[in-house]
Amino acid sequence: MNDSFKKLGINDEIDSILKSIGYVTPTPIQEKTIPFILEGKDLIGQAETGSGKTAACAVPLVQLVDRKVNDIQALILTPTRELAIQYLNEVSSIGKPYGVKAFVVYGGFDIDIQMAKLRDGVHILVATPGRLTDIMYNRQFPLDSVKTFVIDEADEMMKMGFIEDIDFIRKCMIHRHQTLFFSATMPPPIKKLARKYLKEAEHVKLTGRRAQPENLNHCMVSVSSRDKEKALREFLAQEDISQAIIFCNTRRRAEQLAKKIKEFVGGTDFLHGGLKQHQREKILRSFRNRKIKFIITTDVMARGIDVQNVSHIINYEVSQNAEIYIHRSGRTARMGEEGVSVSFVSSGEKEKFEEIKKVSDMNKDNFKKIKYRPSRKKPRL
Ligand code: ADP
Ligand code: MG
């Protein structure tokens, strides 16, 4: 009998729920953080992409809920809607059989329906900061039973745009509560800012120099910007790919590229933050169900999204910085699987890529460079 979740302080009932969903052995981050969380400590949990940070938090949170109290006892904030839904699914799969009610609020979905559900009684709430702030500005929305406040993808959330909303939400919780930050990356200035939110926090850091899994490989395709589209088409046609996520830096570029690629390559679709919410969900579902093979997208999909079958990440445009690269690449090589992150680098992007290469642990064992040569035109008749 394997009782390792139990060794961490998890009770029998939750342990058997975990077994039933295939979580028999805790991952390293789960092993390190679960005892601290159960003790009520503040914490920064840092571990590579795809290492089980969601359950590291969700499992103890479910156990900490007092099921007799019909109020929100844990609040989790995530940077994107898709991630909020995914987080809810993880919490629900553990919490529902245990009698813990979880719910999610995010933009692009009817606010009155969300409010009705909230009034119904929710123990664990997952939210995007913008929507939660909207709700709290306009309505009575008590958070005084919240015992644990969680910020997922903490470094992203501490950036401009989110920080004001998060500050506002936090100020509505003046009572003593536990605060947990999770991410694969935590650049020093952001960490300093994060510290303000935490009291005598434990810092569990399992990334060392790396925020990326060991079984992730990297490839640079050097290609002129003129040939990029053709190179991508050929790459998608020739390479042995189970599924791929292709990243562009803007919505416009992603959409334009998708339209062109679709003409030649079947099973392609695009996803970005400008689409209607139901479309976003539908496309992600089709991708997860493997009805779509290639998804062309923006960094809305770079953070946290858990997908199982992705063999290739393609950086069609080099990302703005190394953190984004790490998170994009982190959509493959999850939980011990193999994966490769391929970057199409034009001469104008070389410098930026070299910068990323330096800080994201690419070396002779995990990195290769190829030069794209356009396939020869067919001779004219
Ligand atoms: P991270 O947030 O670190 O990127 P996730 O929380 O999204 O990683 O988890 C990655 C995958 O691992 C998910 O598909 C999840 O279901 C699975 N997983 C998490 N914990 C365990 C476990 N203890 N045993 C088996 N699979 C797990
Ligand atoms: Mg995560």
Ligand nearest to the Cα of 78, by number: 2
Which tens digit of pLDDT belongs to each residue from 105-162? 999 888 889 888 888 899 999 999 999 999 998 888 889 999 999 999 999 999 878 9
Pocket flag, ligand 1, residue 334 (CB < 6 Å) = yes
Ligand nearest to the Cα of 50, by number: 1
Tally of domains within the chain: 2
Cα–Cα distance between 23 and 35 in angstroms, integer? 17
CB 149 within 8 A of CB 173: yes
Which tens digit of pLDDT belongs to each residue from 235-248? 999 999 999 999 99
Q: Which atom of ligand 1 is nearest to the CA of 49?
A: 4
**Of 306, 327, 328, 329, best ligand 1 pocket probe by most atoms within 8 Å of the beta carbon:** 306
Both structure tokens of 316 = 């069609």
Does residue 227 share a domain with residue 188? Answer: no
- Assigned domain for 132 exists: yes
Pocket flag, ligand 1, residue 303 (CB < 6 Å) = no
Q: What is the CATH number of the domain that holds 244?
A: 3.40.50.300
Ligand nearest to the Cα of 331, by number: 1
Does residue 20 share a domain with residue 101? Answer: yes
Pocket flag, ligand 1, residue 22 (CB < 6 Å) = yes
Under the banding of pLDDT at 50, 70 and 90, the label for residue 208 is confident
Nearest protein Cα to ligand 1, atom 12: 52
Per DSSP, helices labelled H in the chain are: 4-7, 12-20, 28-39, 53-64, 81-95, 111-120, 129-138, 154-157, 163-171, 188-195, 228-238, 251-264, 277-288, 322-329, 350-359
CB 344 within 8 A of CB 316: yes
Pocket flag, ligand 1, residue 5 (CB < 6 Å) = no
Q: What is the mean pLDDT of residues 300-320?
A: 97
Domain that holds residue 23: 4-205
Domain ends where: 171, 205, 239? 205
Backbone φ, ψ for residue 156 (5° rounding): -65, -40
- pLDDT, residue 234, reads 94
Burial 163-176 (b: 16+ CB within 10 A, else e): eebbeebbeebeee
Does residue 137 share a domain with residue 48? Answer: yes
Does residue 189 share a domain with residue 114? Answer: yes
- Ligand 2 center–CA 57 separation, angstroms: 10
Which tens digit of pLDDT belongs to each residue from 154-184? 999 998 789 999 999 999 999 999 999 999 9
Nearest protein Cα to ligand 1, atom 16: 52
- Ligand 1 center–CA 360 separation, angstroms: 22
Both structure tokens of 145 = 């039973």
Cα–Cα distance between 331 and 82 in angstroms, integer? 14
Which tens digit of pLDDT belongs to each residue from 33-82? 999 999 999 999 999 999 999 999 999 999 999 999 999 999 999 999 99
Nearest protein Cα to ligand 1, atom 15: 52
Domain ends where: 205, 225, 249? 205
Domain ends where: 174, 205, 236? 205
Does residue 199 share a domain with residue 247? Answer: no
Distances from the Cα of 259 to the Cαs of 237, 279, 299, 366, in angstroms? 16, 16, 18, 33
- pLDDT, residue 36, reads 98
Beta bridge partners of 343: 220, 315
Cα–Cα distance between 199 and 9 in angstroms, integer? 23
